[in-house]
Structure 1
Amino acid sequence: MEATQADSEIEEEHLLNFVVNSLDEELSLDLGENVKVTAETLYEVLAGASAGGTSINHVCETTDDSPHANTVRGHLSDQFELDSVESVGDTLLQRDTLETLPDRPVEVCADLHLDPYYGDEDETEALYSSQAKRGTTTFHAYATLYVRVRNKRYTLAVRQLVAGETTSDVLGEFLELLDGLDLSVKAVYLDRGFYNSTCLKLLYAHNYAYVMPIVKWGETIQKAVLNRHKAVEFTV
């Protein structure tokens, strides 16, 4: 019997249930006996904010019967640390992805995402600082590692960068992760946020072919590129 269009479509509710159930299995919440809010509700708010590219505040304010945003943040902050959440997230991302990828060398990409922060200066201690962009030097910063196959993206890892961390720190983690996966890498493609001498040394040490936009100025780093790698000029 042929599948109907309805059978082959993924409904929003089904996807939400899948995400919430996966989170609940891997990151169970111990809320105690007298807590009225449920783990399912907390994860629904979190998934809604993530999928919509918005905030917990926005979801709680615009969704009927949602708990207060402070309640959601309070429970999640009390239960989890960033490192453990990132580790579980990577496991969930890689669990099915590696079986889906083709049995041939693949292209891997590393991107740096900087979301400008314009809030209270007293609350920037844990945020990432970088060169001025769009009127600020403070950002919510995230790095992603993913495989690109036929213009489709398969995410392997996500990292948040906080105050004191550098792009070379996260690139080192990404390359260590690649070394440990059963994955043949054709080349690593990096955005210009990873263009510095430490990142170049890491790529050389891990022996990955790579493509990265470079900045023409900077005599020291230019020598590092030309001495160890073949530099090709192109316009992005």
Structure 2
Amino acid sequence: MATVQLNATRDAEIIPPITFVAPEGIHALPVDISGEQRPAAALEFVRSLFPGGDDRLWQTAAPFYELVTETMASAGLAFSGFGLFALETGGVAHCSFTVAAYASDHTDPEIAAQGILAILASDPMNDARWLDLPCGPAVSRITLRELTLSAGITASGGQARLLTGQIQIHVPFPTGPFTAVFTVDTAAMEYWGEFCDMTTAILQTVSFPVSADELDAHGPFSEASV
């Protein structure tokens, strides 16, 4: 497991720090790296993502993940990673995990959460629920979507349907007028329960340090910035 601290800025506003613990199996893209450093960082990322690979695989995959990293950074994500978890039966269960923050102009996190819940619950496609986390109030939203895959990209040569799920949690900052958004997406729906459990475990570790002593108490961090 790794403790992650996000120190971010948006439109010249400093977003207060937020920390959480990412489980083993989550591979973080270097979204906080400058454009000049991105090729080397992408190469290091694919080496960690495919430790059993070779130079040919790493050199081939690095440009793709460099582009993905640039896209995620441009989208304003403070953290973006892939979850790859080995299965006892062979293969892997996979997901994407991202964290972003947006200005919400609130002074009370509970009032902010109530407003978020009202908005999300108004859409019948959302399963929106109130959460009481150790760090304060939050709102979860679960959505399931069925996609139609064209015949040109399926192994069978015919159209196929793919069910995907998204878990999204909005957590109002108690230390400033911002809201964090934790999002997990997966098409490995046979392991949906496990991904729900993983997300719950991550949320139990979320905190909003307000002093240098609190930051130090978390030990070494990997930093990401918007």
Q: Shorter-normalised TM-score: what interval?
A: 0.3 to 0.5
Structure number with bigger Rg: 1
Q: Per residue, is there more helix in 1 or in 2?
A: 1
Structure having the larger proportion of residues in strand: 2
TM normalised by structure 1 equals: 0.35
